[in-house]
Chains A and B, each alone.
Chain A
Amino acid sequence: MKGKKLARKVSIIGAAYTPLGDVRETPEIKDFSEREMVAMAGIAAMKNGGIEANDIDAFYVACSGPNTDAKMKGGGPFFAEWLGMKYKPTMFLDAGCVGGGVALNSAVGAVAGGMYDAVLVTGVNINMSMPKSYYPPHIRFDYDNETLWDNVYLGMDAAYIRPSTGGLAPYDSDLMVYSKTYGISLEEIDEAFLQYLIDKRREAVLNPKAALTTESFEEEGKRFGFDNAHDYLKSKKYNPFISYTGRGKFMGWAMDGAAAVVVCASDLADKYTDKPVEVAGISVSCSTEKDYPSLKHVEDMTMFEEAYMMADITDPFTQIDHMYIHDCPTLTIPIIMEQARYVKPGTTIDYMKNGDFTFDGKRPLNTTGGRTQAGHPRSPAYLMEISESIEQMRGECGPRQMPIPPKTSLLWGGGSGVSKTVTVLKKQW
């Protein structure tokens, strides 16, 4: 794929995501099943894109762990009528937490190749409760222990008992090498990550879709008797280490959610919107290990190289204004960000501790609040961040709006297995 351009230019004309919360309690999504979640996101994305189901040729649904978590197999057709897509081609995909991203890139390829003119790509996971097999899925139950652990460990390669693909140990390994390579202590790295959490919480509070995030870490810390957010986030009781370098709050905050994106041939996009966003570069990769001695993750470097060649990006530091890194866990940020060359090697920790990764900072990153603070809906996460990139470009983010709307956005996602994907978006108007 290296060096290839898409046969036909592809744009995103509409994107949206549901509020993130708990379908048992959050008012906007109360009593929803996966069907209503997908329909809510899909309808909002189609309206956002000025397009209707009749003009869409196919739809894709990404769902992580559908057999255990949604009690469904091959579920694409289950959603068809809910989206006005009866009889249309569908694909149902599980690529863990990056399912939405892998589905998106497949849709881009299908449109670029001329098979379709427009595709609706959706992702859904209800993570805080589960349905019962063969029951109507709006009736929810608490997770049993077995399903809860299956959630985590079925994403591991059991053929060769690779704990690396399921736990945080490989991130420890990466950060140990990073610390040694750049002479930055693990304590300094930990402090920087705590500042990152504080910054992302600030953004999530400003994000109306982050339904469960309502107070800053300063306010939350005060409730538990701490004078400041740092002391609260350093406490053993409220934020213990769960690996050598990773604390509990460095993991994604599981919530229920769905997201959708409408992919359309660029030469048809102006029929529907005057603010299309070009999918200028894409790449997908996989790996069963996540650890490398020299911080050079072969699959990530290959993806960035391919996507940049496709998008004519030669200097990411100056050409990219906004980035998403799947921050479940946050530990992945320094390695991925520097492989993407969004910052210079060895500088991530300085930016992070200085609060520069905010929507109003020097290198905007995860401006929704990211997976740890806005919430982690799993499969829809990448599509949610595509929506954020587009809203930032269109100047629609309200109190989280970047002072200068970005022209080029870069997204990187990873999911169980490990599947990975990169997308470069460019403003077209």
Chain B
Amino acid sequence: MEPILKIWYDSLKEGKILGLKCKRCGTVQFPPVPVCGECSGMETEWVEMSGKGTMYSVGYSPFGIPPFVDDPVVIGYATMDEGMLFSATLTGAKKKDMEKLMEKTPLPVTLGIQKMDEDVYFPCLKLGENSEESSGK
């Protein structure tokens, strides 16, 4: 067994977003866990996520992301291209944007990396189909 959390969080600091791919059926677990949720396979290997997904809904956290972010955040709910559901801060979105975003769903999103504090980086969601498009927002 590897120190999965440490490997994943250290990779985020280095700018990489990783998942664990099942060697038996190919399903990627993201965030990573050591037993495949699809086929129960117990042999996995690290892979880099495509970073692409489709957002289907939004939610609002007025209390931010404790203990890291105090300001309110909009959270995006997406299905990643690898198949799993993932939710994270939707960067740049405000509460007043939420219903308009909802009208336009499903929307393409990409994964970014957000610095939460000196020790912790975490994925976030950005609107757009590729990182160049979303980085301009």
Interface size bracket, A side: 20 to 34
Please tell me if A7 contacts chain B, counting CB pairs below 8 Å: no
Nearest CB in chain A: distance from B68 CB, A: 7
Does B31 contact A167, Cβ atoms closer than 8 Å? no
- The proximity string for B residues 58-84 relative to A, scoring 1 for CB distances below 8 Å and 0 otherwise, is 111111011110000001010100000
B5 at the interface (CB under 8 A from A): yes
For the complex, is B134 an interface residue (Cβ under 8 Å from A)? no
The yes or no answer to B131 lying at the interface (CB within 8 A) is no
Interface pair B57/A161, CB less than 8 Å apart: no
Chain A residues whose CB sits within 8 angstroms of the CB of B79 once the complex forms: 293
CB of B56 within 8 Å of the partner chain: yes
How far apart are the CA atoms of A164 and B85 in the complex, in Å?
12
Chain A 183-212 near chain B by CB (<8 Å), digits 1 or 0: 000100000000000000000000000000
| Set of chain A residues within 8 Å of B95, measured between Cβ atoms | 244
> Which residue on B lies nearest to A243, using beta carbons?
B60
Contacts of A174 in B (CB 8 A): 57
Most buried by A among B56, B57, B85: B57
- A164-B75, A173-B77, A244-B95 are contacts. A180–B66 as well, Cβ < 8 Å? no
Provide the bound-state CA to CA distance between A177 and B99, in Å: 11
Bound complex: CA of A156 vs CA of B68, how far in Å? 14
Known contacts being A161-B68, A289-B87, is A177 close to B56, with CB within 8 Å? yes
B66 touches A243 (CB 8 A): no
Residue numbers in A under 8 Å from B99 (CB-CB): 186
One of B85, B103, B120 near A292 (C-beta < 8 A):
B85
Q: Quick check: is A172 within 8 A (CB to CB) of the other chain?
A: yes
Q: What B residues does A159 contact at CB under 8 A?
A: 5, 31
Minimal beta-carbon separation of B89 from chain A (angstroms): 9
Given A161-B116, A289-B85, residue A170 in contact with residue B102 (CB < 8 A)? no
A296 vs B116: C-alpha distance when bound (angstroms): 32
Is A171's beta carbon under 8 Å from chain B? yes
Residue in contact with A244 in the complex, picked from B5, B60, B66, B87, CB distance below 8 Å: B60
B57 contact from A160, A163, A243, A293, Cβ within 8 A = A293
Contact A243 B56, CB 8 Å, known A159-B5, A164-B87, A176-B102: no
Q: Are B66 and A153 in contact (CB under 8 A)?
A: yes
- Closest A residue to B60 by CB, please name it: A244
In the complex, which of the residues B62, B68, B85, B102 contacts A243, with contact meaning CB atoms closer than 8 Å? B62
Please, which residues of chain A bring their CB within 8 A of the CB of B103?
180
Most buried by B among A169, A180, A292: A169
Interchain CB contact under 8 A, A244 and B85:
no
Query: Given A170-B87, A173-B57, are A293 and B77 neighbors across the interface (CB < 8 Å)?
Result: yes
**At the interface, yes or no: B46 with Cβ under 8 Å from chain A?**
no
Q: Which 5 A-B pairs have the closest CB atoms?
A: A169-B59, A172-B59, A293-B56, A244-B60, A173-B57
A-B contacts, 12 of them at CB < 8 A, read A160-B31, A163-B61, A163-B87, A164-B75, A164-B87, A168-B60, A169-B75, A176-B57, A243-B62, A291-B57, A291-B85, A293-B79
Given contacts A161-B120, A168-B59, 16 further A-B contacts (CB under 8 A): A153-B66, A163-B61, A163-B87, A168-B60, A169-B87, A170-B59, A173-B58, A173-B59, A173-B75, A173-B87, A174-B57, A176-B57, A177-B56, A242-B62, A293-B77, A293-B85
